[in-house]
Every structure is written in C-alpha cells, then in structure tokens.
Amino acid sequence: MNDVSMLNYIERIKGILVPLFYLKTEGDYGIGDFDSLEYLVSNLREYNFIEILPINLPDGSNSPYSPISFYAIDPVYASVKTSLKYFDESKIEWLKSMQIYLHQFNVVDYEKVRNFKLSIYRSLYRIFLDEDKKFRTQEYKDYQDFINVNDFWIQKYSEYMSNHFHEDKEFYMFFQWKLYTQLEDIVSIARSRNVYMCYDIPFYPGKYSIERYTNSDLFSIPVVDGGFYDKSNTKNNQVWHVDVYNFDKEEDISNMFSNRIHFYKRYFDALRIDHFNGYFKRYMFKDDKFEENNIELKNILQIIQKEKDIFYVFESTQLPVATEFIKKIGGSEIFTYLNLSRIIEDTNYREYMDNIMYYSSNHDWGSLMYNNNGKHSEVERIINFIKQKKRYVISLEDILYDSRRLNIPGVINDTNWRIRMLNSISEISL
C-alpha cells in the first residue's frame, strides 16, 4: 500500500452511509447481507464511497456498537448465494421457501435470520469436513492461512462461542473464514470500480464481550457505564451500558487499538473513528450522575498519526483539541447538518476547512425527514447543498426520504436497528 491513502488525492469524495441490515433486494432473506452489499457495490453510479455501520456480532442487543468481538462478523450477514452450488435440489427448494418466509417481514428478525444462516453454514461445514477432500484442497489451505493470520483473535472468539453454545469450536472459525472471504470479494469488486469502502469502528466493546471477558483489567469496575455528556443540551446525553476503559492501562489499550487498525486495513480504504471525543475526555455515568474528565490517549493518537495509508473520518462534536489533531494529520472531521438551521448557522466559518466531511444525518439523531418534520422540500434542499461539497456522505435513509428512526441512542429496546428499506435497492439509482 502507499504511504498515504489515495483518498487524500481524489478530487471529490461522494459517499453514502449504509446500515447493511437496512438494505432490501428482491431475493434477500429478511435482511441486507453480503449478497445485498455486492449488488450495491456492483451497481453504484453516482457515488464513489460507501460507509457501512459496524457488522460485528452484538453482545445481546441488536446494537452494532456493542460488539461481542471487535472482529467477528455477525452470521446474519452471510451470503446465501455463494452456498447454492453445494446443495442438492431438495435443499434449494427449502432455501426458496425460507426466502419467501423471511422476506415478508418489514423489520429484521435477527433471531430467525441468524438461526437460518447458522443452519446453512452448519451444512457447509459438514461438507468441508469430508475427510476425502479436506486435506488436499486449495480451499482448506486458504482456511488454514486465514486461521494463522487471525490467530490473535479467532481462537479466543471461537472458544468463547463454543463454551456458550456447545458447538464445535472449529465451526465458528470456519464461519468467520467464509464471512471474511465474502467481504474480501466484495471489496475487490469495489476497488475494480474505483469505489472506496469505509468501516465504522466502535470505541468500546460490548459489556459482555470477549475483549471484556479476556482483558478484564483493561476496564473499570462494572458499576460505571460509558456514554456521552452534553453540557449545553442534556437531551443529548447518552448512557451506553458498557464498561469504560481503565486508562491506567493505556499501553495495553493502545495495543488493542493498533491490532484493530492493522486488521481492518486489509479490507477497507477508510475508517470512521466513532466517539473521537473519547480519546480526549472520559465520560462516565455513575450513581445516576455523569462525570467528565480530561484525558489524552497519546499512544493511540501516535498510532493514528503513523498509520497514514488508511483514510480516517472522525466523529467529533467540535471539541477544539480533537479538531486540532484532525487538522494536523489530514483526516476528515464529520460535520452533520440534520436541518436547515445548521446550514445557516454553522457553515460559513467552516468553509475554509478542506478536511470537513459533510454528513446529511447519522444513526443517532434520525434521518433528515425525521428532523425536518417530514418536509420533503427542506430535505431535498439540504441534500442538494451537501452535494456541492468536496467531501460528503449522505445517509441512505435520506436519499430515500425515510422518516423512520433507525435508533434511539442509549436505549435498549426491540425496535432499534431493525428497520428495512420499503422497496428494493434495484428500484433506485445510486
């Protein structure tokens, strides 16, 4: 790879923000998955940058920002199309009936979809274990290469899953290999079409994650929750129900962060660093009160400065010290519009900053239609305004004028992270 990301040199970044589960295609199985993402990447025309929300397996809720592992992909995103060649006619008929059944739901039923995908890949795993073929195929060699390269996380993950769900440890390694092979194929298609892929990196692992389980000394006592504190508007306060880092262990935390950067560079051209304020301030919720302390994770900031062959997009709420760092390293700071008043009030003094990445909305605060009282004309005006910028990302919900809310932050419920497109992605031009 080059010493500096190619995204620093292209004339314009024209991006869309995609919650993968939200995608809908005619033949999907109740969720946007890698088959859906491949379709999107292969048919993109107007845009050259796709940011996807985290696709890691969550630790109990549906939230992609509460992963059971920083690395393991959720089985719900597994391709079905790539498995068809392994099955006989009766199995194909069963898949067709399951497609009709799962496709009918207007929201994602994670349990049904996950169990369905697990069933498919258990069958593939049994085929893979065929002793007559296993040790003499290129496929098996590829699998072993994947395990060796990912040994630093996949052994702990597979052991954890095996202990909890009483299933063969190697099945979980096999499944992750299949998932990352599919992702790699999609990224190859994207790069062949000059489409850049961006991945969103959560700040904390889930409360019941493998990282928390195997590195308990890196986290504070469980009664302290991480979150976000906004003095100017307490309505924006969020409690995330995760354990905050023990910053006395900064070197170990930095090593964990460095491993993630090196890992995701294999698959993505850009990384969105979630909650970048958290690298300069520690937000905690303890005894029903918020606490805020100044910190500076110098080791992690040095890692970011050194890893210049990946393009960084930073989520920051205009914290001055964070903004100065972002400008120094040439990354992009997110500025989100949400409504027309932000165009009038906030744009003028930011025009001089070439490193701003302008977003229409985000997963926390709802779509443009949600924030503009369903006024189609105002949403259209905001989108057209953003498209004049050098670097921009428009949420897929905004392109579709969807007024439904994707997520209410800091709340664990049965409605977050479940909505789906009302129509197929093939019916719109991107």
Question: What fold, for 6-427?
Answer: TIM Barrel (3.20.20)
Q: CA 380 to CA 398: how far, in whole Å?
A: 9
**What is the chain's alpha carbon radius of gyration, rounded to the nearest angstrom?**
21
Q: What are the sequence ranges of the domains in the chain?
A: 6-427
Q: Tell me the CA distances in angstroms from 305 to 269, 321, 327, 330, one per residue in order.
A: 16, 15, 11, 9
No. of H helices and E strands in the chain? Answer: 15, 12
Tokens of 5: 């990301």
66 vs 174, 206, 208, CA distance in Å?
A: 23, 4, 9
Which of 244, 162, 201 minimizes the C-alpha distance to 64? 201
CA distance 348 to 423: 37
Give the N- to C-terminal CA distance of the chain in Å, as an integer: 29
Q: What is the pLDDT along the chain (430 residues), one digit of tens a residue?
A: 445 678 878 889 999 999 999 999 999 999 999 999 999 999 999 999 999 999 999 987 888 999 999 999 999 999 999 999 989 999 999 999 999 999 999 999 999 999 999 999 999 999 888 755 655 678 888 999 999 999 999 999 999 999 999 999 999 999 999 999 999 999 999 999 999 999 999 988 988 899 988 988 988 766 566 666 566 555 666 766 778 888 888 899 899 999 999 999 999 999 999 988 888 877 777 666 777 777 778 888 888 888 888 999 998 766 788 888 888 887 888 878 777 666 655 555 454 456 788 999 988 889 999 999 999 999 999 999 899 988 999 999 999 999 999 998 877 778 899 999 999 999 998 8
**Pairing of β 311-314 and β 270-273:** parallel
